Structure 1
Amino acid sequence: MVGLYRAVVLTLVYVRQNLNQAAVGDLFGVSQSTVSRVYRSILPLIGQALCLHVPNLEEAIRGRLVLVDGTDVPTGN
């Protein structure tokens, strides 16, 4: 069983570090399938919690210099 705090941390580590689920499971002492279940249930909640802080793109860049970075970054997709 993973508590709410550990579930959020597990999800953020998985998203931020781009590790596979088995590696995250080893870090947290749980199975890969637990990581998958936790990730699928917690990520939408994190998104809902942060949606209030996502500015409209047009408003965010108005009057500012914007740099577009074309760096190739693996996404796991």
Structure 2
Amino acid sequence: MIRDSNDNLIFLFLEADFECIYKRLKARTGHFQKPQMLISQFEALEIPSEDENDVYFIDANQNIDDIVNSIKNICLERSS
């Protein structure tokens, strides 16, 4: 439904391995998501299929500046 009649809509799928996300989660303070809950989140994760042409995969194992730059580049490419 969300895709209907919206040609400008894109999805960004930030993809990182379990260890990377686990380390980032452990480094957070005061966050409701406990590191132990991450296992079930990875088990329930539905990775977009290759036929979903409006999904861009972002390597989230990178540092935050590189992630942001990747997203900016996608937006710039789409706007030109």
TM-score for both structures, normalised by structure 2: 0.30
Bigger fraction of residues in strand: 2
Structure with the greater alpha carbon radius of gyration? 1
Of structures 1 and 2, the one with the larger relative CO (CA 8 A, separation 6+) is 2
Bigger fraction of residues in helix: 1
